[in-house]
């Protein structure tokens, strides 16, 4: 407890003693985590757009004339990766056809008896699941034929995989860049107190005691910088979403209170963890070097 109160006082002293470095570090953390947040939003929106397109993909299963439409719909609904099933009776199919033909719908009467089969419109969770679902459907005895956009689904699946890898890479890269900046900033702070650390170690201070103020300093910078980054990013993203909705209404960006909460949690949580890790590694490395007898 004594060590902790000393460390807190020492941390405050360090912040006060060099307001220039403290301010610059705060700005650096803010900017770095602003870009981490941008990467997070970019990744999130890329995946959102792709999942919206994937959600539009349907597998159309045409049934045998005497198949039980309702029963089969329930059965298909329980299949994995299926997000929705819409049963279409022959009568509904005819109505849909008429609607599609518009003012030429009268031509349908030439058909006489309704020749259209009952069908199921099956929606799946992601593009990569489409082929598997189609195969399972076609294997069912009640299903006569299956129609789906195989090539589009394949391309979309590839795009989705790429987006996943890309967003992961982007986040890891942004996180690493942030860690590197934090690590070096804390090293500068440590360097500016090199003599003090040496004297403390020479008089027998425990390494943990010497390290604590720097770890607290790192946490302080990480916390304040990421809170500010979350606030700035939140405000800018909200206005960006509003302007996109006005100019390009067909693009749907993610925008919900949960998103802002998630963004703040990711940035602040990431900032605290990274700053703790970086400051601990930086100061521990310095202490190990200082304590190593030559």
Partner 1 sequence: MEIRMAGVTKTFGEDITALEDVFLNVPKGDFVYLVGPTGSGKTTLLRILNRELLPTRGQVFVGEYNLRKLRRTRVCQYRRAVGMVFQDYRLLEDRTALENVAFVLEAVGASRKEAIDRAGEVLDCVGMWRRRFLYPRELSGGEQQRVSIARSIANDPLLLLCDEPTGNLDPQTAGEIMQLLLSINASGTTLIMATHNRYLVDAYRQRVVELKMGRIVRDQERGRYEVDEEL
Q: Give residues in contact with partner 1 (CB under 8 A).
A: 2-3, 5-6, 17, 195-196, 198-207, 209-210, 291, 293-294
- How far apart (Å, rounded) are the C-alpha atoms in residues 254 and 48? 7
Least distance (Å) between residue 184 CB and partner 1 = 23
Nearer to partner 1, 194 or 238 (CB): 194
Nearer to partner 1, 95 or 198 (CB): 198
Least distance (Å) between residue 215 CB and partner 1 = 16
Nearer to partner 1, 1 or 99 (CB): 1
- How far apart (Å, rounded) are the C-alpha atoms in residues 76 and 257? 34
Residue carrying the six token digits 């103020």: 213
Nearer to partner 1, 31 or 201 (CB): 201
| Structure tokens, 35 | 């870009």
Least distance (Å) between residue 220 CB and partner 1 = 19
Least distance (Å) between residue 178 CB and partner 1 = 30
Q: 123-138 burial, b for 16+ CB within 10 Å, e for fewer?
A: bbbbbbbbbebbebbe
- Alpha-helical regions (H) of the chain: 2-17, 19-56, 69-77, 90-101, 130-138, 150-192, 194-202, 207-247, 257-291
Least distance (Å) between residue 36 CB and partner 1 = 34
Nearer to partner 1, 124 or 197 (CB): 197
Residue 131 · residue 48 · CB < 8 Å: no
């Amino acid at each position: 407890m004594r060590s902790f109160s000393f460390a807190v006082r020492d941390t405050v002293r360090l912040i006060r003693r060099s307001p220039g470095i403290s301010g610059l570090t705060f700005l650096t953390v803010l900017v770095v985590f602003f870009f981490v947040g941008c990467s997070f939003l970019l990744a999130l929106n890329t995946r959102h757009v792709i999942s919206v397109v994937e959600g539009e993909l349907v597998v159309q299963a045409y049934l045998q004339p005497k198949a039980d439409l309702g029963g089969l719909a329930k059965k298909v609904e329980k299949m994995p990766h299926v997000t929705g099933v819409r049963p279409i009776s022959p009568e509904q199919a005819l109505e849909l056809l008429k609607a599609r033909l518009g003012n030429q719908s009268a031509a349908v009467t030439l058909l006489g008896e309704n020749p259209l089969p009952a069908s199921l419109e099956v929606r799946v969770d992601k593009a990569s699941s489409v082929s598997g679902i189609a195969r399972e459907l076609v294997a069912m005895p009640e299903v006569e034929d299956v129609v789906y956009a195989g090539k589009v689904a394949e391309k979309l699946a590839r795009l989705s995989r790429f987006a996943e890898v890309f967003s992961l890479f982007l986040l890891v890269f942004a996180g690493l860049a942030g860690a590197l900046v934090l690590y070096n900033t804390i090293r500068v702070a440590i360097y500016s107190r090199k003599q003090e650390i040496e004297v403390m170690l020479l008089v027998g201070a425990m390494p943990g005691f010497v390290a604590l103020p720097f770890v607290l300093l790192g946490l302080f910078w990480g916390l304040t910088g990421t809170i500010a980054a979350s606030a700035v990013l939140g405000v800018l993203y909200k206005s960006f979403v509003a302007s996109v909705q006005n100019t390009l209404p067909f693009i749907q960006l993610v925008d919900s209170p949960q998103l802002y909460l998630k963004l703040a949690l990711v940035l602040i949580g990431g900032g605290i963890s990274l700053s703790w890790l970086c400051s601990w590694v930086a100061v521990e490395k310095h202490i190990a070097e200082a304590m190593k007898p030559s």
